[in-house]
With several copies, the nearest count.
Chain A
Amino acid sequence: MQSELVQKYLREDRLPHIWCPGCGHGVIMHAVIRAIDNLKLDPEKVCIVSGIGCSSRASGYMNFNTLHTTHGRALAFATGVKMSQPDLHVIVLTGDGDTSAIGGNHLIHAARRNIDITTITFNNNIYGMTGGQYSPTTPYMDFGTTAPYGNIDNSFDLCDLAKGAGASYVGRATAYHAVQLAKIIESAISNKGFSFVEAVSSCPTYYGRKNKKGDAVNMMKTLKDMYVDIKIAEKKPELADGKIIFGELYNNPQDEYTDKYQKIIDMLKKEN
């Protein structure tokens, strides 16, 4: 027996999922379906696209039109889907490595075009699927199997990157802040344009173990402690000291790409 939401939106026969005990990815996927449910989207018109990684396995569990692509290319496939069939709600579920390492170019270009795709990056600060190599979001001097002496790369702030590249909606929340996360995903999907959500996850198996972050419960608590709601931070900045802000970070609706293309089509129709 399952919860109604799970029955409605997930492929029960594909569960339990492959994620490790306590992995934050499951919580994030739950938030995604709550957001979809709240928005009352027609499931037939929802297309979930993912790349390759633990996080990207999400597409297989979700009962929509689902597309599990190649590593890093989710947004490029998604762009083809959206461009050729603009009436679909296209949602990309991806990992930090998938979106921002190998897939970084597709991220900035989809953002630049402001094409109506919602990208949700499950950011666990590591490559989980391949066993714990550092990713572009691994914090400075943290460890990964390919950073045995500490990671000397600066890490991306994915939200800044997406905003800088042109996303018209940007938000962040963590697997701990699951209620807020669902809300942000809801707003992101509602934005007609390119929306980016950093969903901070936790990987107790690799990132946690390599960096002595304790067990899954501990890592959830760390998320609670490390992140502060932007609304609180705005009211009481002292509470945000040394913490990372989450919430709706940017919301600036702009003309959407497929809409603009439609105008060309309409113009040519008139001409003929």
Chain B
Amino acid sequence: MSKKYEIRLTGSGGQGLILAGIILADASLMQGINAIQSQSYGPEARGGASKAEVIISTEEINYPKVQQCDLLLCLTQKSYNEYIATLKNDGILVVDDSIEMTEISSATIYRLPILQTANEELKKPMVANIISLGAITKILNLVKEEMVLKAVLNRVPPGTDLINTTAFNKGVSLIK
């Protein structure tokens, strides 16, 4: 059966969401699943809301941009406000629990302490992206966790393997 997910990762400029998107795409390819990653450029890229997109699919991917999100990650209020409308009715919303949400009926919602885990538990704000990735991997249940972790370790700077592994696993464990 063919599966296709349009995923949008949103937050603020410095949160490394583009890297997260690349890693997810990397991991998909490793597992033989197609993936396309893209991002928004422009003044917004400097602070303000930032957006990375990944489409992963067991079939060929034609149109490379996300049209309606199957899964939307929001790490900041600003990005939540801006992108919530792009989530499919029956999509999956992953939000940081610091965000105030408006009513959403039919979406599956994961309200997770991502930033808090990064800032307070791991004391590394910059791993919020990897925590998110762990959670998303678990939720999607399409690309294998070990693949994603391998992809993480391929892309992060040398010497940060441990913290990133921890972060990833933390993310996975946030789900259930």
Contact = CB atoms under 8 A, between A and B. Distances in A.
Contacts, number: 6
Interface in B39-63: 43, 46-47
A205 interface: yes
A20 interface: yes
A205 B43 CA distance: 13
Interface residues of A, number: 4
Contacts of A164: none
Q: How large is the interface on B (under 10, 10 to 19, 20 to 34, 35 or more residues)?
A: under 10
Interface string A6-36: 0000000000001011000000000000000
A20 B48 CA distance: 10
Contacts of B43: 18
A20 B43 CA distance: 10
Nearest to B43: A18
B12 to A, nearest CB: 12
Contacts of A205: 46
Contacts of A18: 43, 46
Contacts of B47: 20-21
A38 B46 CA distance: 33
Interface string A159-171: 0000000000000
A263 B9 CA distance: 43
A18 B43 CA distance: 7
A21 B43 CA distance: 13
A54 B111 CA distance: 38
Contacts of B46: 18, 20, 205
A139 B46 CA distance: 25
Interface of A: 18, 20-21, 205
Interface of B: 43, 46-47
6 contacts: A18-B43, A18-B46, A20-B46, A20-B47, A21-B47, A205-B46
List the 6 shortest-distance A-B pairs measured between CB atoms, nearest first.
Answer: A18-B43, A20-B46, A18-B46, A20-B47, A21-B47, A205-B46
